[in-house]
Chain A
Amino acid sequence: MLNLLWILLGGYGAGILLPICLRERPESQRLATSVAAILATSAGIVLGLLGLMSSEPVTASFSSTIPLLTVAIRLDPLSAFFVLTISLVGLATSIYAIGYLRHLERLASTATLGALFNAYLLCMTFVVLADNGFFFLLIWELMSLLSYFLVVTEHEKAEVRYAGLFYVIMTHIGTAFIVVAFLIFFQSAGSFSFEAFRHPERPLPEGMRTLVFLLMLIGFGTKAGIVPLHVWLPYAHPVAPSHVSAVMSGVMIKTAIYGLIRVYFDFFGGQFPWWWGFVVLFLGATSALLGVMYALMEHDLKRLLAFHSVENIGIILLGIGAGMIFQSYGLKSLAALGVLAGLYHTINHALFKALLFLGAGSLLYATHTRNMEEYGGLLRRMPWTGGFFLIGAVSISALPPTNGFVSEWLVFQSLFLSFQIPTVFLKLMLPIAATILALTGVLALACFAKAFGIAFLAQPRSTHARHAEEVPIPMRIGMGILATLCVALGIAPMVVVPLLDRVVAPLTGISITSKVLAIDGWALAPVNVEFSSLSTPALALMLVVLAMLGLGLAVALGGRLQKRHSKTWGCGINLTPRMEYTATGFVQPIKRVFSTIYQPTVKLETEFLAESRYFAKRRHFEFHIEPIFEKYLYEPLVAFFATLADRLKVIQAGGLHLYLTYIFVTLIALLLLAV
C-alpha cells in the first residue's frame, strides 16, 4: 500500500513540476498537469478502497529535524474513506480541467494554475492521512493557503481580491482555534502524535474537554461553513475557477467533517455528554435551513451552489449530531447509524456538489456569465451539460432513486428512532429536527427546480445563451463520471453501507451492516424491517416499469403518436424571453412567506411620461435581503477590532530599539511566569 502512496506522491509531484518545466507550451502543460493528476487520483482511489478493506491501519513515519514535528501518516478506515472521496472528485475535476483550463488561459497562466491545483489535492489527501498534530496543522495551513491562491486566480478584479481576503481571514481565524485545541491536547499528552492524543498521560479534566469541544467546533466549523461561520463560502466559491470551486465545495469543506469525527469519536473515544451532540444537531439544523433559504434568493448560480454547501454540511451534522446524542446514551447501534448516515451524505454531497459546480463551470464556459437571468433554453443547445446538471439537481433535491435521497432517508431514520432516548426534551427535539430537514429538502427542491428551469428551459434570455455551444468532450467526461456515481450510489446502497460500516465500527464499537441491510442487501432497514425499510433498486425498477406502463397505456388507448408543433399561446401576441418567469419572480412567494428571515427591502422607482401619469417611461427595481450575520455579527466585530487596533497604535512608534525592548520585557515576564 505504501507503493500506492509513492505513486500518488509521484503523480502529484509531476503535476506540480511538469507544467513549470514545460514553459510557453500551454497545450502540453494542460495535458501534462491533468494526466499527472489523473494518475495520482487513480492511485488515491485504489488506496482509499484498500484502506477501507484492510483490517489493520497502515502507518509510516519519518522524523524530521524540526523539534516535535514527525511526518507521520496513518491510513485507517476513516482516513481511507476521505482519501477515496477526495480522489474521486479529484479525478473527475482533473479530467474536466483539460477542457476548462483553456477558458482560463486569458486570465491566468496554465502552469501556475495546474501546479497549484495538484499541490492543493496533495495537501488535502495528506490532511486526512496525517497522524501527528504538528504535521496536521502544517498541512492544514498549506491547504488553506493554496486554496487562497486558487481563489484569487482572477486577481485583477476587485471583487475577487475582496473575496480572497475575506476567505483568508476567516480560514485563519478557524485555524487559530484549532491550534489552541491541539496545544491543549499536546499539554495533556506530552506529544503531538495522534496516538498520544487518544491515550494521554494525564487525561484532560472535564472543563478542558468542553473547551476543546468548543474550540474544535468553531475551528473546523469555520472551514465547514456552519452558520454563523459560513459567510466566506458565498464569496470565495463563486470567484474561484469552477473546477477549483468543485473541489473546495465538494471535498475541502469535508476535511473539517473529518476533523470533527476524528476528534470527537477517535481522540475522545466517543465519551461525551449529550449536550455536545445537541449543540452539533442544533447547528446542523440551523445551517441546513438557513443555507437553503439564502440559496433560494441567489441568482448567481455559483453563489447559489455555495449556499447549498452550507445546507448540506448542516444535513451531515444532523446525522453526526444525532449519532453523538445516541452515543452519549450508550445506544451504540443508533449512534453508528447516525454517523453512517452523516458519512454517506458526505460522499454524496461531494459527488453531486462537484457535479453541479462543474455544470455551472460549463455554463460559464459557454455563456461567460454566472447570472441565471441571462441563461435560458440551454438544454437544447447543451444537451449533455443539461442532462448531467439535471442528475445533480435531482440528487441534491434528494429525490429517489438517487444518492442524495438514500443518505437523507438514513438521516431521517436516525432522527425518528429518537423515541428510544430516555429524555423527553430530546425525544421532542429530534423529530423537530427531522421536520426542519423535511422543510430543507423541499426548499432545496424548489431551489433546484428554479436553477434548472430558469437556466435550461424555455427561451434563451440573452444573446450569450442564444449562441451557447456544448462544452468540449473532457469536460463532459468529468461531469459524466460524477453523474454516473450519483446514480450508482443511489441504487446500490448495499455496496456502500458495508464499506461505511468499516469506518463507523471502530468509532462506535459496533458493526451494524447486518442490522441495516435486510433481504440479502436489497433493502435498507435500520434496526428492523418492521420499523422502516427502503429499497432503491426496487423503487428504480418500479419507476421504470410504471413509466413503460404509462407509455403502453398511451399507445394502447391513443394509437401511434402524431405530434404537432406550435408556438406557445401568448394571448394573441408573440411570447418573448422578457415575458418569461424570472428567477426573482419564481421565488417571490417564498420570499414573502419567509419575510421574517429575509427582511427584504424593495425599491421601485418609476419615471412617468410627461404627457400622462398612466404610462411609465422607465422603471427601476431593486431588491435586497438583509445579510443578518454580516450586519449584526461581523460588522460590530470588525468595528471593535478596528477601534482596538487604533488604540494600540500608540505603542507602535516604529523604532527598532523600542520593539527590542518589548521583546526583552516579554521574555523576562515569561521567565518569571515559568519560575
Chain B
Amino acid sequence: MLQLIILLVAQTTVLLAVSPFLVGLIRKVKARLQLRRGASLFQPYADLAKLFHKQPVISTTTSWIFTATPYIVFASILTAGLLVPTFTSQMPMNFAGNIIALVYLLAVGTFFLILAGLDAGSVFGGMGSSREAIVASLTEPAMMLAIFAIALTNGSTNVSTIVHKTALLEGIVTDPSPHLMALAALFIVALAETGRVPVDNPATHLELTMIHEAMLLEYSGRYLALLEWAAGLKLAVFLSLIANVFAPWGIATTVTPAAMGIGLLVYVMKTATLAVVIGIIECMFAKLRLFRVTDLLGVAFILALLGLLFFYILRS
C-alpha cells in the first residue's frame, strides 16, 4: 500500500514537473530554428507561477461551469496521465483503466473545455469550441484503431502491461510493420490532440486559426494557469505514451531505486527527443486550413487500418 502511494505521488510529481519543461523545449527548438535565441527552457514554470498570482477576471455571463472547468480538465488529464507509464512500467493504477479509459478520460477534458468556450458568450470561444468538436471527432477513431493494432501484438489493452511486456522483450518485435504504421498514426493523432502545428497553433491568438487558445480566451489568473498546465500535461501524456509503447528501452521494470533512477533519466531523454521532433515539425510545416485537417487525420486513420491488416496478413 505504501509503495503504491509513493509510486502514485512520484508519477504525479514527474508529470507535473516535466510537462512545462517539454513545452519550453519545443518553444526553444522553434526559436533556434527560426534563428532567434528564444526564452529560457524554464520560462513556462515562471509563466505558471506568475499566472497563479494574478487576480482572475470572470465574465459576468458565465456560470459555475466556467470556474469548475479548469479543475475538471486538470484532474481528468492528470488521471489519464496516471494510466500511462513514465519512468516505471510497474504502474499501480494499471488496473484502474486501459487505453480506452484513457481516451475517454481525455474526452472529459475536451467536453468541459468546449462548454467553457461557449459559456462566456463570445464568438471566439464558440468558434474554438466548434472547431475542437470536429477535430476531436476525427482524431478519436484513428486513435482507437491504432491502439487496437498495438493491443493485438501484445495481447493487452492496458498501457502498463503493453509497455512492461515489450520492455522485457527489450523492444524486439518480430514483425514491426503493424507497429510502425500504428506509430505514425498515433503521432499524427498526438499532434492533433495536443493542438500542435499543422492542426492548431499554440503560439497564436489570431482568430482565423486558433482552436484551443480560442476556448481559453476568457480565462485569466489561476484558472488560465491550471488550463495551461493541463495542456502541457496532455502533451506529456501523449509523448510518454508514444515513447514508452514504441521504445520502452530503459524503463524500470522492477521497483528498485536504481532502476527507477535510470528509468527517470531515460524517460526525460526520450520525451525530450520527441519534443525536439515536434519542434522541428512545427517549423517545417505551415498550419493546415481547418478543412484540410480532415485529410491529415484521414491519413492517420488509413495508416492505423493498414497496421491492423498487416497484423492479420503477417499472422496468417
Contact = CB atoms under 8 A, between A and B. Distances in A.
Interface of A: 377, 379-380, 386, 394, 397-400, 405, 409, 412, 416, 419, 424, 427-428, 431-432, 434-436, 438-439, 441-443, 445-446, 448-450, 452-454, 456-459, 518-519, 522-523, 525, 529-535, 538-539, 542-544, 546-547, 549-551, 553-554, 557-559, 561-570, 575, 577, 579-581, 585-590, 592-593
B107 A453 contact: no
User: What secondary structure prevails in chain A residues at the interface with B?
Assistant: helix
B249 interface: no
A312 to B, nearest CB: 16
B273 interface: no
Nearest to B136: A442
B42 interface: no
Nearest to A564: B57
B148 interface: yes
> What size tier do the contact residues of chain B reach?
35 or more
A581 B131 CA distance: 12
A587 B130 contact: yes
B40 interface: no
Given A585-B126, A586-B129, A577 B121 contact: yes
Contacts, number: 274
Interface centre among A446, A535, A570 (most CB of B within 10 A): A446
Given A419-B152, A435-B145, A551-B71, A543 B140 contact: no
7 contacts: A424-B316, A427-B312, A446-B134, A456-B63, A532-B158, A539-B96, A542-B93
A276 B49 CA distance: 61
A590 B312 CA distance: 33
A589 B141 contact: no
A146 B294 CA distance: 47
Interface of B: 12, 48-49, 52-65, 70-72, 74-76, 78-79, 82, 93-98, 100-101, 103-105, 107-108, 110-111, 114-115, 117-123, 125-127, 129-131, 133-134, 136-138, 140-141, 143-145, 148, 151-152, 155-158, 161, 218, 221-222, 225-226, 290-291, 294, 301, 305, 308-309, 312, 316
B294 A523 contact: no
A446 B78 contact: no
Contacts of A580: 118, 121-123, 126
Contacts of B123: 579-581
A581 B129 contact: yes
B246 to A, nearest CB: 20
A450 B12 CA distance: 33
A592 B55 CA distance: 41
A416 B63 CA distance: 40
A470 B227 CA distance: 32
B96 A542 contact: yes
B144 A581 contact: no
Given A533-B158, A580-B121, A550 B61 contact: no
Given A554-B52, A589-B290, A453 B119 contact: yes
A532 B218 contact: no
Contact of B98 (A532, A557, A581): A532
B74 A546 contact: yes
A539 B53 contact: no
Given A394-B111, A456-B63, A531-B157, A412 B70 contact: no
User: What secondary structure prevails in chain B residues at the interface with A?
Assistant: helix
A561 to B, nearest CB: 7
A575 B101 contact: no
Nearest to B144: A438
Given A533-B94, A558-B221, A590-B137, A434 B148 contact: yes
B122 A543 contact: no
A610 B95 CA distance: 71
A525 B104 CA distance: 17
A561 B161 CA distance: 42
Contacts of B309: 428
Contacts of A438: 103, 140-141, 143-145
Given A443-B137, A445-B136, A566-B58, A452 B115 contact: yes
B188 to A, nearest CB: 16
A56 B101 CA distance: 38
Contact of B120 (A525, A554, A568): A568
Contacts of B290: 589
B104 A398 contact: yes
A568 B145 contact: no
B79 A539 contact: yes
Nearest to A566: B57
A655 B310 CA distance: 73
Nearest to B135: A589
Contacts of A535: 95-97
Nearest to A537: B96
B118 A539 contact: no
B157 A416 contact: yes
B59 A568 contact: yes
- Shortest 10 CB-CB contacts between residues of A and residues of B: A581-B126, A458-B121, A453-B118, A558-B52, A547-B75, A446-B133, A557-B52, A438-B144, A546-B75, A538-B96
Contact of B74 (A394, A445, A547, A567): A547
B61 A459 contact: yes
A441 B126 contact: no
Contact of B72 (A397, A547, A568): A547
A593 B134 contact: yes
Given A542-B79, A567-B59, A453 B129 contact: yes
